[in-house]
């Protein structure tokens, strides 16, 4: 894992449990890997919704612990952890968003990225709508409130049909929770059930483990699932199966937690298969295989098992150091990387080392890790990456750098190896990576590797496209794709 790409967000919701808020709190903890910029919980007693959000991790936002959770205590709740992929990392963009319109209160939590967000916002502002945030999520609330939409037979389904891009959404109304997924199923969303019979919905099934809930199924692409007093109801806002799925396979490569089940496969098993495929395709004479933790660990286990080269934890990760990509200077980022990943000298000294990582984005922090391993006495360093070279930006909820900043853009393997200061580097080919998952290869989005976007992107916008006034402190050209 490089500290140069940001995860998308994490969603959790539960209906009909006396401890719904507390279970949402624990569910968000298990999804913390999906977002550390802000967190929040909204809950309802059936008549009134209240909400608490803030900047930072779940533990920081709810640092008063039980006191805050008791204030929110209600039988239904939704929660959100955020990494910004649309809109700056500011308190005004924390979710869930709580608003009130002609149909009452609604709280919304979103994972994904709307590629037509700026177009919709410009249109609504032209007719007098006032926005309080710079996130694409708020646009959905304005669509819900539009008088001509409110009168439709299925207002929410009608609103969702206006959205283009990747979205998994939770809506908390006074009396129910509605969960929806875009017609391509780009981002994951699944349904579970607690021992007490309460329905749960979350971005990943690992959140169910945290509250001892069982996995039922995924929310299907284009489906709206309602959790209410009658139980679980389902409807589709597009014809079921009318659109070929485009699941983000990068969820398997990097985002999701190893014990999660997404898109029909266990994440750990997919990564192990990728590591085994790497060993078959690109063997190397070496003494030890080490992972870049945590997302590279399962692939390294697979590489070791297939190659017969011993597995070692040559890099040890500290969970108490802040994310290095938000450090203010390059020197601070380099220091942060050294603190974040410490080299176990005895595991690499005097040895030929295979380093297995999930991906390489800019390459600057990867080069720093390589230098640390070399300084610890490694004789040779061979990088093996469990996905193809990333050459294209993502517009569906992954905060990759601009195309010109991507290491693999315009460089061949020799040039990449030279930049990273490794003896060799190999990437898992796209077709071999797709063999590691169980669905048909056409059911996955591979745009960041192939440049083939399942949803056409007419205008390439940056995550700061709607931060017009806040962008005074930045050079806007720096973020052009």
Domain that holds residue 56: 10-245
Distance CA 472, CA 476 (A): 8
Same structural domain, 118 and 170:
yes
pTM: 0.91
Decide if 471 is inside a domain.
no
Distance CA 153, CA 157 (A): 9
Decide if 444 is inside a domain.
no
Same structural domain, 47 and 194:
yes
* Span 400-447, pLDDT tens digits: 768 888 999 999 999 999 999 999 999 999 999 999 999 999 999 999
Distance CA 156, CA 221 (A): 15
Same structural domain, 433 and 332:
yes
Q: How confident is the model at residue 321 (pLDDT cuts 50, 70, 90)?
A: low
* Span 4-59, pLDDT tens digits: 555 569 999 999 999 999 999 999 999 999 999 999 999 999 999 999 999 999 99
Beta strand segments in 147-187, E: 165-172, 177-181
- 3-state SS, residue 427: strand
Distance CA 382, CA 338 (A): 20
Same structural domain, 341 and 197:
no
Q: Which residue has the tokens 């495929």?
A: 277
Decide if 443 is inside a domain.
no
Q: What residues form DSSP beta bridges with 179?
A: 170, 225
Decide if 279 is inside a domain.
yes
What CATH number corresponds to the domain at position 406? 3.40.50.2020
Same structural domain, 420 and 331:
yes
- Pull the structure tokens for residue 170: 């939770």
Number of domains in the chain: 2
Decide if 96 is inside a domain.
yes
Same structural domain, 275 and 223:
no
Count CA within 13 A, CB hemisphere, residue 49.
25
Same structural domain, 411 and 319:
yes
Distance CA 123, CA 302 (A): 51
Find the farthest-apart pair of alpha carbons in the chain and give their distance in angstroms, rounded.
72
Same structural domain, 305 and 184:
no
9 catalytic per annotation: yes
Considering Cα of 19, then 21, then 27, then 29, what sign does the dihedral take? Answer: negative
Same structural domain, 113 and 239:
yes
pLDDT at position 31 is 97
What CATH number corresponds to the domain at position 224? 3.60.20.10
Decide if 67 is inside a domain.
yes
Same structural domain, 364 and 403:
yes
Is 61:54 a contact under the CB 8 Å cutoff? yes
Residue whose C-alpha is closest to residue 451's, from 386, 406, 384, 385: 406
Q: What residues form DSSP beta bridges with 42?
A: 51, 78
């Amino acid at each position: 894992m490089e500290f140069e790409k940001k995860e998308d967000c994490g969603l959790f919701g539960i209906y009909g449990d006396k401890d719904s808020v507390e279970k949402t709190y624990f569910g968000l903890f298990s999804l913390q890997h999906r977002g550390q910029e802000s967190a929040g919980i909204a809950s309802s007693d059936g008549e009134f919704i209240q909400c608490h959000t803030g900047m930072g991790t779940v533990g920081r936002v709810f640092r008063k612990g039980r006191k805050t959770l008791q204030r929110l205590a209600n039988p239904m709740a939704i929660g959100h952890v955020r990494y910004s992929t649309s809109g700056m990392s500011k308190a005004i963009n924390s979710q869930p968003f709580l608003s009130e319109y002609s149909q009452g209160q609604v709280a919304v939590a979103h994972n994904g990225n709307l590629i037509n967000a700026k177009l919709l916002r410009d249109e609504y502002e032209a007719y007098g709508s006032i926005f309080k945030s710079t996130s694409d999520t708020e646009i959905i609330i304005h669509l819900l409130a539009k008088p001509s939409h409110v009168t439709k037979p299925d207002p929410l389904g009608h609103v969702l049909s206006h959205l283009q891009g990747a979205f998994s959404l939770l809506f908390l109304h006074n009396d129910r929770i509605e969960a929806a997924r875009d017609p391509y199923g780009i981002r994951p969303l699944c349904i579970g059930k607690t021992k007490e019979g309460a329905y749960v919905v979350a971005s990943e099934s690992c959140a169910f483990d945290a509250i001892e809930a069982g996995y039922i199924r995924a929310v299907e692409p284009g489906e709206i699932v309602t959790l209410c007093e009658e139980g679980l109801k389902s409807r589709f806002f597009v014809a079921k199966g009318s659109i070929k799925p485009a699941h983000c396979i990068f969820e398997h490569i990097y985002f999701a937690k190893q014990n999660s089940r997404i898109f029909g496969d266990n994440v750990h098993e997919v990564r192990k298969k990728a590591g085994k495929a790497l060993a078959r395709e690109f063997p190397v004479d070496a003494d030890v295989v080490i992972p870049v933790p945590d997302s590279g660990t399962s692939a390294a286990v697979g590489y070791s098992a297939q190659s017969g080269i011993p597995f070692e934890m040559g890099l040890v990760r500290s969970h108490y150091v802040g994310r290095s990509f938000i450090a203010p200077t390059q020197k601070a980022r380099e220091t942060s990387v050294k603190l974040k990943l410490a080299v176990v000298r005895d595991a690499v000294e005097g040895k030929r080392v295979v380093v297995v990582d999930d991906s390489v984005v800019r390459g600057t922090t990867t080069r720093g890790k390589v230098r640390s391993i070399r300084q610890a006495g490694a004789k040779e360093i061979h990088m093996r990456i469990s996905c193809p070279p990333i050459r294209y930006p993502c517009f569906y909820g992954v905060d990759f750098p601009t195309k010109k900043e991507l290491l693999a853009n315009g460089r061949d393997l020799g040039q990449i190896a030279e930049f990273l200061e490794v003896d060799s580097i190999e990437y898992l080919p796209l077709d071999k990576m797709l063999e590691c998952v169980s669905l048909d290869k056409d059911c996955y989005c591979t745009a960041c590797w192939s440049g083939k976007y399942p949803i056409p992107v007419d205008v390439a916008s940056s995550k700061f496209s709607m931060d017009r006034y806040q962008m005074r402190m930045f050079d806007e050209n720096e973020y052009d794709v």
